[in-house]
Structure 1
Amino acid sequence: MKKIVVLTGAGISAESGISTFRDANGLWDNHDIMEVASPHGWANNPELVLNFYNQRRRQLKEVAPNAAHLYLKKLEEIYEVVIITQNVDDLHERAGSSNIIHLHGELRKVRSERNEDLIYEWDKDVNLGDLAEDRAQLRPYIVWFGEMVPLLDKAAEEVMGADILLVIGTSLQVYPAASLIHYIAEGKPVYIIDPNSVPVPKKPHIQVIRKNATEGVKELNFFSSI
């Protein structure tokens, strides 16, 4: 069975109604990045940070997986599929995909601010005074700017073993996640779906589809022999 590794970014979730950070009118327009997505911001104003992610978590109840999420689930009928996502929502899970690596954390989890290994499933708001079992404040289970990406090595290993790499809805400008495209074996096919210009080398095995996620997947022929 051939193996497809899929790298997804904000573009695939945007079509379900989840605001992106970097686009015009995105989340960053209303928040300073370092105030809500950095250890420094957390230390300065944890209540602001908690409220920001509480809003993001509540929004999950208002959105649903779209056709691109469902397409990736369907790929599992004939391929081994590993999804590496930069998104912190749970839309891939809700679409039914079974092998997902969340590079930047998950909205529906929290962790101790002191011990990164104390992680809990969490669907409600997090408030100041909500404590982990080590008596430390609970914080979002999110990889903030300036923090290590603990699953990066695992993700790179998956890409190295891929027969096909599919990139959907990511600008390939956020590092270290953007570096993953360079781990695919030379000559293996790479398909990139994004309506915007994406900085990738012009090579015969790299195909760019300048469409959004739900339209772009319609041009793929993964259900025929490759």
Structure 2
Amino acid sequence: MRRAMTNIFVLTGAGISAESGLGTFRDTDGAWARFDPMRLATPEGFAADPVLVHDFYNHRRRDARAAAPNPAHAALARLEAGLAARGGRLFLCTQNIDDLHERAGSRHVVHMHGALLKARCTACVTDTVWHEDLTVETACPHCGHSGEMRPDVVWFGEMPHHLEAIDEALAEADLFVAIGTSGAVYPAAGYVAQARAFGIPTLALTLEAADNAGLFEATRLGRASETVPAFVEEVLNGA
């Protein structure tokens, strides 16, 4: 890195968690190649067959709980602490619904697509930390209604979370970095163009070129567990 970076916006996608054993959704062997997303990841699919949807996300929740953060997650936690120590800021925005960033030590994580280890009651619209299975009989711990609990994840056709905070942080960033993203899911795939419009340098750290690869000023190909720690060391050492 040629200049000191104080405020860094990092967007992470499924590629950063793949090395922790969590399968991606959009790869040729990913979940959406094997399952119908319209039945499993839409409000309409949930209304039609909540048992099926709960079973799918119960398995995802168990997988997430069994997974462990990898060196890329740990490096971003170091970056957050290092930037804060010098009066800067890491805005860590993730498309992932796992909690590996938090378990690696990141204190401020913006989950734009929701969180697998949370449940939401559609009756009282209250979120609850939830690590166990959900069923159609599960009662909301806040209002007591049964049959109203759903995974607190953003499904197709629903609005991502925290969009205003994301836009504000991107406008204030010195550098935009995308890690392990497919570049195919909007609005996240459009953030690189937004950063370029603001005159912010852009960098992609990815195993293979994303759909929006041409929009990045610089790209480093490789495993996240290798490219992310190297990038973090550069930033913290002022390289």
- Decide which of 123, 127, 151 is 2:131's aligned counterpart: 123
Match of 1:135 in 2: 145
1:110 paired with 2:123, answer no
What is the SS of the residue equivalent to 1:77?
Answer: helix
**Counterpart residue number, 1:195:** 207
Aligned-partner residue type, residue 116 of structure 2: L
Give 4+ residue runs of structure 1 displaced > 4 Å after superposition.
none
- Preserved contact between residue 8 and residue 87 of structure 1 (Cα < 8 Å): yes
Aligned pairs for 1:43-54 (under 5 A) are 43-54=47-58
Runs of at least 5 residues in structure 2 that lack an aligned partner in the other structure: 84-88
**1:77/1:111 Cα in 2 relative to 1: closer, same or farther (>3 Å)?**
closer
Q: Deviations over 1:81-106 (max 9, x none)?
A: 11100000000000010111001110
Amino acid at match of 2:100: L
Deviates more, 1:40-49 or 1:190-199: 190-199
2:191 to 171, 180, 183: 180
Of residues 102, 105, 115 in structure 2, which corresponds to 1:93?
102
Q: Which has the higher helix share?
A: 2
Quick check: 2:123–2:145 contact (8 Å CA) kept in 1? no
Q: CA RMSD in A?
A: 1.8
Report the counterpart of residue 72 of structure 2 in structure 1: 68
- Structure 1 segments unaligned to the other structure (5+ residues): none
Offset of 1:43 from its aligned partner? 0.9
Percent identity reads 40
SS at match of 1:214: helix
- Contact 1:112–1:134 (Cα < 8 Å) also in 2: no
Alignment length (residue pairs): 223
Letter matched to residue 6 of structure 2: K
Is contact 2:176-2:202 (8 Å) kept? yes
Structure 1 residues 180 and 202, CA gap change in structure 2 (3 angstroms): closer
Match of 1:159 in 2: 170
In 1: Cα distance, 2:81 partner to 2:25 partner: 33
Change (3 A) 1:9 1:105: same
Contact in 2 for aligned 1:82/1:158 (Cα 8 Å): yes
- Cα distance in 1, alignment partners of residues 191 and 110 from structure 2: 13
Residues 155-197 of structure 1, C-alpha deviations (whole Å, 9 max, x = no match): 1211111111111000111011212223326332211011222
Q: In the aligned structure 1, how far is the partner of 2:235 from the partner of 2:221? A: 18
2:227 to 179, 204, 216: 216
1:84 aligns with 2:107: no
Residue 191 of structure 1 aligns with an amino acid whose one-letter code is L
User: Are 1:155 and 1:180, in contact at CA under 8 Å, matched by a contact in 2?
Assistant: no
Distance across 2 between alignment mates of 1:60 and 1:150: 20
Aligned-pair distance for 1:208?
Answer: 0.6
TM-score (norm 1): 0.92
Contact 1:88 1:102 in 2 (8 A): yes
**Alpha-carbon offset, residue 202 of structure 1:** 5.3
2 CA distance for matches of 1:211 and 1:9?
15
The reply on whether 1:30 has 2:30 as its aligned counterpart is: no
Using structure 2 for the length normalisation, give the TM-score: 0.87
